[in-house]
Amino acid sequence: MITLSSDFGTPYPAAMKGVILQRSDARLVDVSHEFPRQDVRAAAFWLREVLPHFPPAVHLAVVDPGVGTDRAALVVRAGDHALVGPDNGLLLPVARRLADVDADVEVFEWTYEDPASHTFHGRDVFAPCAAAVHEAGVARIETLDAATPTDAYEGLTFPEPTLPTEEGEAPRGEVLVVDGFGNVVTNLPGSVLAGHYGDHVSVGGVVARVVRAYDTVDPGTRVVTVGSHGNVECAVNRGRGNRSFGLEAGDDVQLSF
Amino acid sequence: MITLSSDFGTPYPAAMKGVILQRSDARLVDVSHEFPRQDVRAAAFWLREVLPHFPPAVHLAVVDPGVGTDRAALVVRAGDHALVGPDNGLLLPVARRLADVDADVEVFEWTYEDPASHTFHGRDVFAPCAAAVHEAGVARIETLDAATPTDAYEGLTFPEPTLPTEEGEAPRGEVLVVDGFGNVVTNLPGSVLAGHYGDHVSVGGVVARVVRAYDTVDPGTRVVTVGSHGNVECAVNRGRGNRSFGLEAGDDVQLSF
Amino acid sequence: MITLSSDFGTPYPAAMKGVILQRSDARLVDVSHEFPRQDVRAAAFWLREVLPHFPPAVHLAVVDPGVGTDRAALVVRAGDHALVGPDNGLLLPVARRLADVDADVEVFEWTYEDPASHTFHGRDVFAPCAAAVHEAGVARIETLDAATPTDAYEGLTFPEPTLPTEEGEAPRGEVLVVDGFGNVVTNLPGSVLAGHYGDHVSVGGVVARVVRAYDTVDPGTRVVTVGSHGNVECAVNRGRGNRSFGLEAGDDVQLSF
């Protein structure tokens, strides 16, 4: 199985699929091709949240503003999974989650020469690479001539929240992404809401009720809840939380109960 | 085969696919993940129009504004098909169409406990359920411990049009949905246009020609025709009917020939 | 394998898939269902660029403003591939590219009678046709009763650029499409940039740097480069070239070095 993720929209992902299908009969599953364009951090977040639900697979992921420059191509083995994509940090958060322990993340540089384009390595570098890794098998990446183990690669970490150490302190964090519903996903762990369900909370001055499910308040009403990723989420029942809270990716959030 | 439908946009449907693929090798086919958000009636309409074209399958469909509340999860057997989704009426119109007779619609409540989230039952409740139904087989839903036959479930019916009983009366109906082309789909049966092809019709004061095919008039010209669902549709050749007619879902329509 | 392309958006493509799956176990691969609506030329361009990356397959492609009129349905054999769609020129550019020589493009008219709708031949005519061609095999199209060889069909050619014949003349061409990134794809061959990398070029008065890769300039900076289709492309690093250059499909472009 090969999954495909990118910020390519359409129809570029189909070219990647064609290239793969010339080389492999692997089952193909789209994760998303609508990641925010050139936003490596947002894509890294979604990959980390979605890919661990899959059985062992090769995951092709291309959000690659540096395409055509000298940035490397990587293959990352993480447990029974392999990740293929550019060396810009995109693959690392999900790799750490897919591996049982950090030591199970092994990174290979993928050597490529003279691809057909400098603007579409998804088609010309990464798709052939994903097919080759799939055909060799995740356990046998090192048998591929183009794969060389490396310790020199870009990392990516999400901002850490500041959690209260004393009674009455306010948890402070950051908006990681806004999803398609307009739900504002923060980096605050859902555990900070414990003991506050049913109460009101102020998010930077915007007041909302702390609830377990969206539809426990009237439509159009603001809520703060725990999203499916386990983080605090600012939402509006049947509406768009980002607009109502005035929040977007990168904004600071502080919860005052 | 398992089909997937939702209002989730992206990338949430991929999490559902991963969960299913952990449990089943079923072929997966996306129907749509772009149903109007939280619009159960529109989604029920599209499911009714699209799913009957499929061979026997398990159809996972999640438009679920009540996620995380005490609304039930349902499995519906309709002929050789099974439908899996929330108990909010979404599954019933298509179930009645898939079944040869009403008696062939059998509804089961699907018991679930403590899902990982209160906000994403598509991933945590319905995807595992669809995989379980697929693996058991549509004919053997009752062998699954979590499935209990029930008569207590939400229905959903589309508004009925008022058809002429005498010469000269105007058919009156309602807009069910607007499609991606901007075509305005009403609940009026196409048969009301019989005998009027080539004539003009007034739709609430907006005049258009009654035609069999869009491209029988100049580009940008309004038409009234029979859409692929068999209902009267208000459209513009190579344009957007909703804007030109000033109509949206839920609006009344009256045809005066 | 059957690939699917259209301007249908959602959920209409799923009805085509259901119809095919009633008739065939073929692997289905979506190319795009977001081609610019009713824009046959843009779709023909993308088909020409994407489909040649696929292994031999049946390619269903429907951008069909003339649906329901007397325009014919075509099956085109091009090398080991078959193309199925309306007779409006859509299939010809890609057919010429898929075939090794022009003589390898063979066109058949596909006879159909009384489809269920006049507005959705993708579902009622072309999907059954694609399934039938797939089941018969690309090499055996002529064994199908509905397929009749024809020389009478619509062609489609892209505008030819005017290339310099003397030193100092400016290459002149046209914008073919704007992609989802906002990159402006012209019909000028990338070879016109040879010898100009690192220089500035004026595109109708808008100045940009000629580069090999987007990210060789600061974010937000205009570039002219060779896109993945081999043509000159006007882009903005991490931005939208169409807005910055003020260009859209059909516009003239002239490069002054």
* Identity of the residue in B179, B213, B238 whose CB atom sits nearest the CB atom of C38: B238
pLDDT band at B102 (very low <50, low <70, confident <90, very high): confident
Residue B236: the pLDDT is 97
Cross-strand bridge partners of residue B174: B252
**A52: exposed, middle or buried (Cβ count in 10 Å: 0-12, 13-18, 19+):** middle
pLDDT level of residue A255 (50, 70, 90 thresholds): very high
Q: What is the pLDDT of residue A139?
A: 97
Residue in chain C nearest A118 by alpha carbon: C213
pLDDT of the residue at A79: 95
The yes-or-no verdict on residue A242 having pLDDT over 80 is: yes
- A226 and B118: CB-CB below 8 Å? yes
Q: What is the pLDDT of residues A217-237, one digit of tens each?
A: 999 999 999 999 999 999 999
pLDDT at B240: 97
The interface pTM score, or ipTM, of the predicted complex is 0.96
| Chain A residues inside the 8 Å CB shell of C32 | 10-11, 14
Which whole number is the average pLDDT over A55-66? 97
- The arithmetic mean of pLDDT across residues A64-74, rounded, is 96
Q: Give the torsion through C-alpha atoms of C79, C81, C86, C90, to 10 deg.
A: -70
Portion 120-149 of C in contact with B at CB < 8 A? 120, 123-124
Does residue B29 belong to the interface with chain A, where contact is any CB pair within 8 Å? Answer: no
pLDDT tens figures, B35-81: 999 999 999 999 999 999 999 999 999 999 999 999 999 999 999 99
**Bridge pairing between strands C222-226 and C206-210:** parallel
Neighboring chain B residues of A50 at a CB cutoff of 8 Å:
11-12, 14-15, 18
Cβ–Cβ below 8 Å for A180 and B10: yes
Residue A226 touches chain B, beta carbons under 8 Å:
yes
Chain A residues with beta carbon closer than 8 angstroms to that of C237: 65
pLDDT of residue B101: 81
Compare CB distances from A50 to B14, B22, B67 and report the shortest one's residue: B14
What is the model's pLDDT at position A28?
98
What mean pLDDT, rounded, does chain B reach?
96
- Interface check for C119 against chain B (CB to CB < 8 A): the answer is yes
A53 touches chain B (CB under 8 A): yes
Nearest by CB to residue C181, choosing from A18, A37, A116, is A37
Region C2-149: CATH code: 3.40.50.10790
Number of other CB atoms surrounding residue A162 within 10 Å = 14
Q: Do B31 and C11 touch (CB under 8 A)?
A: yes
Mutation pick from A1, A4, A7, A10 vs chain C, by most beta carbons of C within 10 Å, is: A10
Q: Does C87 contact chain A (CB < 8 Å)?
A: no
Start-end of CATH 2.40.30.90 domains in chain A: 172-256
Among residues A91, A113, A116, the alpha carbon closest in space to that of A40 is found at A91
List chain C residues with CB under 8 Å of A14: 3, 29-32, 50, 53
Question: Are the beta carbons of B228 and C66 separated by less than 8 Å?
Answer: no
Which chains does chain B touch, 3 or more C-beta pairs < 8 A? A, C
| Closest chain B C-alpha to A239 CA, distance in angstroms | 9
Mutate to test the interface with B, among C16, C118, C124 (most CBs of B within 10 A): C118
> Cβ distance B59 to B5 under 8 Å?
yes
B9, A55: Cβ pair inside 8 Å?
A: no
B11 preceded by a cis bond (ω within 30 of 0): yes
Q: Are C134 and C148 a contacting pair, CB within 8 Å?
A: no
Q: Are C51 and A22 in contact (CB under 8 A)?
A: no
For residues B182-192, average pLDDT:
97
CATH 2.40.30.90 for the B172-256 domain, yes or no: yes
CB contact under 8 Å between B22 and A55, yes or no, is yes
The residue written with tokens 């066109």 in the block is C107
The residue of chain C nearest to residue A34, with distances taken between CA atoms, is C180
Name the minimum distance, in Å, from the CA of A198 to any CA of chain B: 14
Q: Tens digit of pLDDT for each residue in A13-27?
A: 999 999 999 999 999
CB pairs under 8 A between B and C: 90
Going by pLDDT thresholds of 50, 70 and 90, the confidence category of residue B205 is very high
B179 CB within 8 Å of a chain C CB: yes
Alpha helices in B40-126 (DSSP H): 40-50, 92-98, 121
- Residue intervals in chain C for CATH 3.40.50.10790: 2-149
Least Cα separation, residue B193 to chain A (angstroms): 38
Residues of A in contact with B63 (CB under 8 A): none
Instruction: Count interface pairs A-C at CB distance under 8 A.
Output: 90
What DSSP line would sit under C166-198, residue for residue? STTPPPEEEEEEE-TT--EEEEEEGGGGTT-TT
The DSSP letter of residue C192 is: G
Structure confidence at residue C72 (pLDDT): 97
Interchain proximity B29–C15, CB inside 8 Å? no
pLDDT of A166: 87
| Strand partners for A233 | A185, A225
Can you give the pLDDT at residue C101? 80
User: Given a cut of 90, is residue B100 above it in pLDDT?
Assistant: no
Dihedral pair phi/psi, residue B185, rounded to 5°: -95, 120
pLDDT per position as a tens digit, A113-131: 899 999 999 999 999 999 9
**Cβ-defined contact of A180 to B14 (cutoff 8 Å):** no
Is B191 an 8 Å CB contact of chain A? no
Read off the pTM: 0.97
Q: Name the residue type at position B204.
A: G
How does residue A102 score in pLDDT terms, banded at 50, 70 and 90? confident
Spell out, as residue ranges, where chain C has pLDDT lower than 70: none
